[in-house]
Structures are given as structure tokens and as C-alpha cells.
């Protein structure tokens, strides 16, 4: 994982001591996702997208660059931000949500208890679903963030798992335990 990330409200020294300001923005509520494990599923935005997007974008400072996960629920918000701020969008697979393998599209409460217990027992390394481990997600996100070290004012439209991985860069396990509701941000400096 990348080291040296600091969670902050504004710019400062970031990865490797290089100046950067990254704002990670979680997508708005997706359609038909309540109760589902939907990491890499390409769900569309919910019925209230316009109002949720406007509320999420309103407090943001115009970015110099917008980067987005390629999944539709992020691209739609990134495109709306691009129109608002007059900045093009770059898609980056480094900011995809965690790959939950065989759990994708299944209700969380229908997942096998023994698989969930195995995941909880070895949170960073377990792969009971056959997808990506939490540790792999953290390493992928750290590498993706490092690409933008030194870049001024980057808005990254992404997923809750990615925000948690970014928060864990400095907070360790406590970062993974943070909650990031739809449309909220995490600023890294």
C-alpha cells in the first residue's frame, strides 16, 4: 500500500511528500441495490440521481481534473461533474469497487455464514467469494492514488470500498471501519 497519505480538508504533502489534493467522492444511490452485494456489478443510478448528484457536487471546489471508476453509477456522476466544472473525465480501473466474486448480486443476508465468518477472521487476506481480497483492494487503490501524486485538485468519483481503502492508508483497520454514505467525500492531501 502507498504510504504517506493524510486525510485532510485541503492541500498539503501527500504520497512521497509531493503536493496533491485528491477528493474522493462516492457515487449516488444505485438503482435496485438495497441489501445486495454489488461491488463490480454495473448498476445504474437511482431514481433520485439528479437531486443527489447536485447535492453531492454543490460543496465541491472546481477540480483541475476528474477521474472516475468506469462503472455506470460513477461515470454518470463524473459526467455531471464534468458538465458543471468544464473538465473532462478520465476513466481509471484502479478506482473500481472490490470484486466480490461469487457474492456479486446476491443479498448480503443470503451469503453463507461460514464464508462471512472466514472473511471476518482474516479480513485482509481471506477470499471466500473467489474475488479480490481486502488487502488486494488496498494495494490497488494505493497504486491508483500514487498515479495522481503531485497533481493539483483531482476529483475521483468512486465507491465506498475505495474510500475505505484510501482512509486505511493512514488509519489502518480503523479506515476500513469508516462509513461513507452515498454522495460523501474523503479529502486526501
CATH number of the domain where residue 151 is located: 3.40.50.1240
CA distance linking residue 10 with residue 29, whole number of Å: 26
Query: Would you say residue 141 lies in a domain?
Result: yes
Q: Please state, in angstroms and rounded to a whole number, the distance separating the CA atoms of residues 118 and 105.
A: 20
| 14, pLDDT greater than 60 | no
Provide the whole-model pTM: 0.89
Distance from C-alpha of 49 to C-alpha of 118, rounded to nearest angstrom: 36
The pLDDT of residue 42 is 97
Please report whether residue 2 resides in a domain: no
Q: Is residue 59 part of a domain?
A: yes
CA-nearest of 104, 105, 79, 101 to 90 is 79
Q: What is the pLDDT of residues 155-179, one digit of tens each?
A: 999 999 999 999 998 888 888 999 9
The residue among 130, 122, 121 whose CA lies nearest residue 98 is 130
**In this structure, is residue 87 part of a structural domain?**
yes
State the number of CA atoms in the 13 A half-sphere of 183 facing the CB.
18
Length of the chain: 189
d(C-alpha 9, C-alpha 21), whole Å: 9
Residue 67 lies in a domain: yes
Is 3 within the bounds of a domain?
no
pLDDT per position as a tens digit, 102-158: 999 999 999 999 999 999 999 999 999 999 999 999 999 999 999 998 888 999 999
Strands 154-158 and 22-26: parallel
Place of cell 441495490: 33
Instruction: Give a yes or no: residue 7 inside a domain.
Output: no
CA dihedral 32, 88, 13, 27 (to 10 degrees): -10
For residue 154, give the nearest of 22, 5, 27 by alpha carbon.
22
What was the pLDDT predicted at 6? 40
In a domain, 150, yes or no: yes
Say how many domains are in the chain: 1
Amino acid at each position: 500500500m502507498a504510504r504517506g497519505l493524510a486525510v485532510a480538508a485541503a492541500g498539503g504533502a501527500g504520497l512521497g511528500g509531493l503536493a496533491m489534493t485528491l477528493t474522493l467522492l462516492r457515487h449516488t444511490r444505485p438503482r435496485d441495490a438495497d441489501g445486495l452485494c454489488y461491488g463490480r456489478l454495473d448498476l445504474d443510478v437511482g431514481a433520485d440521481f439528479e437531486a443527489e448528484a447536485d447535492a453531492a457536487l454543490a460543496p465541491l471546489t472546481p477540480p483541475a481534473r476528474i477521474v472516475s471508476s468506469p462503472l455506470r453509477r460513477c461515470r454518470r456522476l463524473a459526467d455531471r461533474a464534468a458538465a458543471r466544472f468544464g473538465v473532462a473525465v478520465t476513466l481509471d480501473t484502479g478506482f473500481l469497487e472490490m470484486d466480490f466474486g461469487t457474492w456479486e448480486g446476491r443479498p448480503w443476508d443470503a451469503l453463507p455464514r461460514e464464508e462471512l465468518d472466514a472473511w471476518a477472521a482474516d479480513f485482509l487476506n481471506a477470499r471466500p467469494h473467489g474475488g479480490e481480497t481486502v488487502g488486494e483492494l488496498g494495494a490497488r487503490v494505493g497504486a491508483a492514488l500514487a498515479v495522481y501524486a503531485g497533481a493539483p485538485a483531482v476529483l475521483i468519483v468512486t465507491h465506498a470500498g475505495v474510500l475505505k481503502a484510501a482512509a486505511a492508508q493512514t488509519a489502518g483497520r480503523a479506515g476500513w471501519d469508516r462509513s461513507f454514505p452515498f454522495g460523501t467525500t474523503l479529502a486526501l492531501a
